[in-house]
């Protein structure tokens, strides 16, 4: 049998028998984990799903099982035994403390090697004398199980307004587990090892994949279909799935579509999350409530009786995306299943098209990097031609960088805006390069090892902090002493003859003034550098910083293109004097920024972007 995925309410588990194999460790849930589950159930409020006979449900994490025998009631628990044990403890507590003769049937948990644990679970109770659970330290399992049962009791006692009937109903009938049934042919230990290596749970992507690859998806009208035909369709989807995942593993592609580091264990999940977010953005019920001006809690609660938003139906917890897709697979035809898969492929193909288009890659990559949500970009693309979409991107870039005139931006006041402008200048330098193979490396820009990005004063803002002999000697290596005034040459000679007689801070200040060090906080004296690299350039005159920039590149550091050009004095109009960043240099740099960004700082913004 193929892997199967379902949603089962707690009530649907009650007639089953579960076996805990020997390779599973014992029960270890903490007090906090038990309380979190109890609080979540208590705070959950099921809502009628309009135009259906169903209500919303609270979703527990997956339980991975394999059929134990031919009986449909016997299952080996591969993953989720602690969750299942806690569910049993709560049912047992309801029976002991709340129920009369009409007990809830308690499903069985049997242990392959820990026989006493089954008896302990079935007979655990609240001590009448102490009104608590006696913590049993006979073994580590008993200790944690009794402590969890005590937590349930103390939680109930502390919730004096608890409606036990409502809680029981929500827990038994409105709480569902994700039931992931593996093939009988799969090795249980291999599955367990994969799931628990590094404590990695089943992801939305794995669960959704199981939905797509169910054999029943490809059988029309429940008729028998040749196994080969089914297998080929499964292989087709599995192959395309792997191609998408492989493509997204490319770091350049991945960091192009993500604002920052995103460590999804399965990267195709990014597409599923994106589709769910866009579905929320396009939710007609949200728009209808705006139109009807439904804003108060009372109005919203009344509206929910007949209409729910997508977010209200599926939630925002870690398995909300799975629930959204699970709904798409409720009795559907083969063609509808295919349409679902084609929809996912279409999203990926759009991302791939942007990644392969050099212009879109750089401009969309810039917008995502500075915080534009990719779902907004997708939404704008939907009904636009390629030209209209390109114009929207340019308009949107104009909008986000035009807070004030570029030459008026000031360090210390407009740092965020300065970084946005300088990042765009760097990206467009790459885009406008004659070498069409060059691409701005968003993966390097977003690498956490860089420590983020900051503004570096091209000409030293504060070199006077150098006071130690070793630091001063290192600082001097990049300075051409022939360019010093005669009196400074004499002082430097005296320093070299007797380092103890010269006050280093005063000599640093005089040399800095010789090279024209001044306090300039506008954009023509700013360059973009990673925070970690910036710290390596502190207290350096222009020639010192230039040498360190060269060294950074040699050792594999990432220095953005426009920043490199600054220290190479590449810009038209720069002087050939490599020991100073002079007024002509600053003007040449500013002119280049204004020229390259001209389309964004001079064009009128279309009404659509206002």
Q: What is the pLDDT of residue 227?
A: 58
Are residues 121 and 55 part of one domain?
yes
**Cα–Cα distances in Å, from 278 out to 273, 274, 293, 351, 472?**
9, 6, 22, 14, 57
pLDDT beyond 70 at 198: no
Q: Do 317 and 180 share a domain, yes or no?
A: no
Query: Which of the listed residues 356, 388, 412 is the one where a domain comes to its end?
Result: 356
Give the integer Cα–Cα distance in Å for 316 and 276.
10
- The strand ranges marked E within 31-152 are 58-67, 74-79, 108-111
How many percent of the chain have pLDDT more than 90? 52
Assigned domain for 215 exists? yes
User: Residue 610 — pLDDT band, cuts 50, 70, 90?
Assistant: very low
Residues 188, 247 within the same domain = no
The H or E element that residue 259 is part of is none
Looking at residue 112, what is its pLDDT?
80
What's the predicted TM-score (pTM) here? 0.78
Q: What's the structural domain count of the chain?
A: 3
The percentage of residues in the chain with a pLDDT greater than 70, rounded to a whole number, is 89
Residue 476 included in any domain: no
121 and 25 in a single domain? The answer is yes
Give me the residues paired with residue 338 across strands. none
**Shared-domain flag, residues 238 and 219:** yes
User: Which has the closest alpha carbon to 456: 530, 404, 560, 564?
Assistant: 530
Identity of the highest mean pLDDT range in 45-49, 217-221, 257-261: 257-261
Tell me, yes or no, whether 417 lies in a domain: no
Q: Is residue 187 domain-shared with residue 212, that is, in the same domain?
A: no
Q: Which of 4-13, 49-58, 119-128 has the lowest mean pLDDT?
A: 49-58
| Residue closest to 27 by CA, chosen among 116, 104, 105 | 116
- Looking at residue 536, its pLDDT comes to 66
Give the per-residue pLDDT at 466. Answer: 61
Handedness of CA 299, 304, 307, 313 (dihedral sign): positive
Whether 571 maps to a domain, the answer reads yes
Choosing from 327, 356, 385, the residue where a domain stops is 356
Query: How much is the pLDDT for 430?
Result: 96
Find the domain containing 174 and state its range: 1-202
Question: What single string gives the DSSP state of each residue in 556-584?
Answer: T----HHHHHHHHT-STT--S-TT---HH
Q: What is d(CA 576, CA 579) in angstroms, rounded to the nearest whole number?
A: 9
Q: Are residues 236 and 187 in the same domain?
A: no
23 is a domain residue: yes
Q: Let me know whether 4 and 149 are in one domain.
A: yes
Task: State which of 168, 202, 236 marks the end of a domain.
Answer: 202
Strands 453-457 and 17-20: unpaired
193 lies in the same domain as 215: no
């Amino acid at each position: 049998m193929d892997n199967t995925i379902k949603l089962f309410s707690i009530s649907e588990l009650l007639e089953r028998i579960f076996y805990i194999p020997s390779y599973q460790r014992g029960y270890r849930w903490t007090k906090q984990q038990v309380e979190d589950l109890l609080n979540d159930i208590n705070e959950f409020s099921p809502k009628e799903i309009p135009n259906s006979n169903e209500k919303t449900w609270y979703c527990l994490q997956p339980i991975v099982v394999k059929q134990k025998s031919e009986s449909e009631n016997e299952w080996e628990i591969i993953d989720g035994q602690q969750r299942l044990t806690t569910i049993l403890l709560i049912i047992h507590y309801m029976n002991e403390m709340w129920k009369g003769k009409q007990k809830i049937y308690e499903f069985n948990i049997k242990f392959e090697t820990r026989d006493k644990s089954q008896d302990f679970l079935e007979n655990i109770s609240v001590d009448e004398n102490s009104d608590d659970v006696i913590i049993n330290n006979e073994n580590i399992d008993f200790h944690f199980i009794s402590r969890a049962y005590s937590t349930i009791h103390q939680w109930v006692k502390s919730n004096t307004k608890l409606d036990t009937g409502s809680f029981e109903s929500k827990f038994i009938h409105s709480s569902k587990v994700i039931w992931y049934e593996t093939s009988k042919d799969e090795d249980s230990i291999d599955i367990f090892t994969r799931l628990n290596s590094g404590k990695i749970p089943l992801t939305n992507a794995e669960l959704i994949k199981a939905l797509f690859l169910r054999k029943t998806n490809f059988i029309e009208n429940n008729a028998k279909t040749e196994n080969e035909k089914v297998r080929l369709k499964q292989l087709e989807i599995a192959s395309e799935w792997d191609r998408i995942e492989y493509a997204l593993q490319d770091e350049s592609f991945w960091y192009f579509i993500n604002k920052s580091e995103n460590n999804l264990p399965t990267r195709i999940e990014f597409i599923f999350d994106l589709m769910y977010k866009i579905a929320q953005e396009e939710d007609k019920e949200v728009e209808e409530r705006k139109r009807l001006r439904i804003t108060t809690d009372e109005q919203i609660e009344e509206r929910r009786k007949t209409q729910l938003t997508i977010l209200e139906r599926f939630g925002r917890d870690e398995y909300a995306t799975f629930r959204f897709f699970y709904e798409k697979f409720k009795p559907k035809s083969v063609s509808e299943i295919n349409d679902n898969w084609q929809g996912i492929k279409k999203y990926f193909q759009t991302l791939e098209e942007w990644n392969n288009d050099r212009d879109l890659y750089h401009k969309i990559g810039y917008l995502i990097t500075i915080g534009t949500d990719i779902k907004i970009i997708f939404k704008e693309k939907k009904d636009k031609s390629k030209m209209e979409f390109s114009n929207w991107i340019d308009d949107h870039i104009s909008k986000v960088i035009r807070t004030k005139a570029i030459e008026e931006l000031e360090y210390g006041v407009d740092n965020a805006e300065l970084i946005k402008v300088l990042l765009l200048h760097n990206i467009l330098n790459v885009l406008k390069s004659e070498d069409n193979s060059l691409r701005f490396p968003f993966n390097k820009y977003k690498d956490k090892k860089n420590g983020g990005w900051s503004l570096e004063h091209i000409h030293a803002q504060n070199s006077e902090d150098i006071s130690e002999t070793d630091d001063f000697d290192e600082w001097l290596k990049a300075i051409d002493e022939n360019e010093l005034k005669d009196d400074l040459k004499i002082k430097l000679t005296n320093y070299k003859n007797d380092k103890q007689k010269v006050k280093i801070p005063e000599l640093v200040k005089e040399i800095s003034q010789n090279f024209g060090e001044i306090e300039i906080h506008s954009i023509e004296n700013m360059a973009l550098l990673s925070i970690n690299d910036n710290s390596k350039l502190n207290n350096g005159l222009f020639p010192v910083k230039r040498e360190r920039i060269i060294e950074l590149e040699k050792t594999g550091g990432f220095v953005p293109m426009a920043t490199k050009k600054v220290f190479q004095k590449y810009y038209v109009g720069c002087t050939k004097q490599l020991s100073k960043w002079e007024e002509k240099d600053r003007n040449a740099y500013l002119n280049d920024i204004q020229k390259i960004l001209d389309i964004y700082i001079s064009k009128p913004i279309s009404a659509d972007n206002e």
